[in-house]
């Protein structure tokens, strides 16, 4: 097997010019927002003489450095590790210092605990905030439980940590029935209103099932539940039922492309099978400012596995992040948190998750937009 470092594909200037014209054309035809200053091929600029090629263009990061983050779930093995002799950082203080050294500016939390042997007790949110501040890091969100009974306490922690967004990694409703999503929308509108009153944004994060089809049509089953679909997807229905002032979203880009692969057919109210291809870009673009956060998670297409993709280090897969982030626009508004669910390497490779974080940051930083 080749060394992992040799296998890793880094973004190059050739990659930077990957065409996003087809998606942009569809958006423009639909009257949707498209970044006006797209990435032209240098040969297509007004003058293609050697001396003038590229004149007037300037390169800018597609994802601004201040908006590049990581969800700590990716390095959960090292956040929760007891002190060891591996030479790999452990606990909040050491791991966050290493992430800042790599270049990350933002942190999305996935729990607030570390191994109690480090302090002889559990670390507090106030102590975590000091670690953030000492390393020039900003908390941009969290995956926690969104429950009306505990929501004030969760907002207290979020504000202690200085974060702008508070969210969850689970669906607002874990069913296919419209009535359940209606009830969830009522709850989330109210919680989102409470969050906004405290200067926070409430968000939910998707897995592939969030973009599967509602059961909202056709004959009912024995329990009176509908058995067929109008073709509306769960989370897209939730977009329309929630107030855009109060409820926001974090698209996990990898799981969105898994949904594109897995959830493409439904049975309509008349019992006919219909096909509808999910498009992550066209889902975000019409409501791009409802997506302050993204999980920048990469994958390689593999139809031999149920999800149709294998999760890989950012920049090693075939998801076109250049096209995605350039086409949805609003570069300054969006925050990209790197994630890889399987980054921890276990006892045999204790440094793997940190190594993956470093490689992914380097590849993310090389995404470039060219402007005139």
Q: Which residue has the higher pLDDT, 37 or 354?
A: 354
For residue 244, the domain's CATH number is 3.20.20.150
Is the pLDDT at 8 greater than 70, yes or no? no
Look up the domain containing 201 and give its range. Answer: 4-371
Lowest mean pLDDT among 46-55, 212-221, 273-282, 293-302: 46-55
Is the pLDDT at 46 greater than 90, yes or no? no
Mention every residue, 6+ apart, whose C-beta is less than 8 A from residue 308: 258, 261, 262, 301, 302
**How do residues 237-257 score in pLDDT, each as one tens digit?**
999 999 999 999 999 999 999
Q: Which parts of 44-110 are beta strand (E)?
A: 58-61, 68-71, 106-109
Is the pLDDT at 261 greater than 50, yes or no? yes
Give the model's pLDDT for residue 48.
Answer: 47
Give the model's pLDDT for residue 47.
Answer: 43
The model's confidence at residue 28, banded by pLDDT at 50, 70 and 90, is: low
Listed residue (282, 66, 71, 70) closest to 168, CA to CA? 71
For the beta carbon of residue 342, count every other beta carbon within 10 angstroms: 12
On the CB side of 175, CA atoms within 13 Å amount to 13
Give the model's pLDDT for residue 36.
Answer: 37
Is the pLDDT at 13 greater than 60, yes or no? no
Give the model's pLDDT for residue 55.
Answer: 74
Q: What is the mean pLDDT of the chain?
A: 89
The model's confidence at residue 372, banded by pLDDT at 50, 70 and 90, is: confident
Both tokens of 313, joined, read 């280090």
**How do residues 163-176 score in pLDDT, each as one tens digit?**
999 999 999 999 99
Q: What CA–CA distance (Å, rounded) separates 286 from 245?
A: 15
Q: Which residue has the higher pLDDT, 259 or 49?
A: 259
Q: Please state the rounded mean pLDDT for residues 210-226.
A: 96
> Total domain count for the chain?
1
Tokens 């002889």 identify what position? Answer: 120
Q: What CA–CA distance (Å, rounded) separates 294 from 316?
A: 18
The model's confidence at residue 334, banded by pLDDT at 50, 70 and 90, is: very high
pTM here is 0.87
**How do residues 79-125 score in pLDDT, each as one tens digit?**
999 999 999 999 999 999 999 999 999 999 999 999 999 999 999 99
């Amino acid at each position: 097997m080749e060394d992992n470092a040799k296998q890793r594909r880094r973004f190059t200037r050739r990659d930077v010019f990957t065409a996003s014209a087809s998606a942009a054309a569809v958006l423009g035809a639909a009257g949707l927002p498209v970044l006006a200053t797209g990435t032209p091929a240098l040969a297509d600029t007004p003058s293609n003489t050697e001396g003038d090629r590229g004149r007037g263009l300037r390169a800018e990061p597609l994802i601004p450095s201040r908006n590049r983050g990581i969800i700590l779930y990716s390095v959960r093995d090292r956040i929760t590790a007891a002190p060891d002799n591996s030479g790999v950082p452990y606990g909040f203080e050491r791991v966050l210092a290493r992430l800042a050294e790599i270049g990350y500016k933002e942190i999305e939390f996935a729990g607030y605990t570390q191994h109690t042997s480090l302090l002889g007790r559990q670390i507090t949110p106030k102590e975590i905030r000091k670690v953030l501040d000492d390393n020039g890091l900003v908390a941009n969100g969290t995956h926690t439980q969104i429950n009306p009974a505990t929501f004030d306490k969760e907002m207290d922690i979020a504000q202690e940590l200085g974060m702008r967004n508070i969210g969850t990694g689970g669906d607002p409703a874990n069913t296919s029935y419209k009535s359940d999503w209606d009830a969830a929308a009522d709850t989330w509108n109210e919680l989102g209103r409470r969050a906004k009153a405290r200067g926070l944004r409430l968000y939910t994060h998707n897995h592939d099932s969030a973009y599967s089809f509602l059961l909202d049509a056709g004959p009912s089953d024995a329990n009176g539940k509908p058995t067929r679909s109008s073709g509306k997807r769960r989370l897209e229905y939730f977009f329309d039922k929630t107030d855009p002032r109060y409820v926001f979203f974090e698209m996990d880009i990898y799981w969105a492309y898994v949904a594109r692969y897995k959830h493409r057919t439904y049975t309509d109210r008349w019992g006919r099978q219909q096909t509808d291809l999910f498009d992550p870009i066209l889902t975000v673009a019409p409501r791009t400012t409802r997506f302050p956060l993204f999980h920048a998670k990469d994958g390689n297409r593999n139809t031999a596995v149920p999800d149709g993709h294998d999760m890989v280090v950012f920049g090693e897969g075939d998801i076109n992040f250049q096209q995605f982030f350039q086409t949805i626009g609003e570069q300054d508004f969006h925050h990209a948190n790197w994630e890889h669910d399987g980054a921890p390497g276990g006892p045999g490779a204790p440094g793997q998750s940190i190594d993956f974080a470093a490689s992914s940051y380097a590849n993310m930083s090389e995404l470039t937009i060219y402007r005139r």
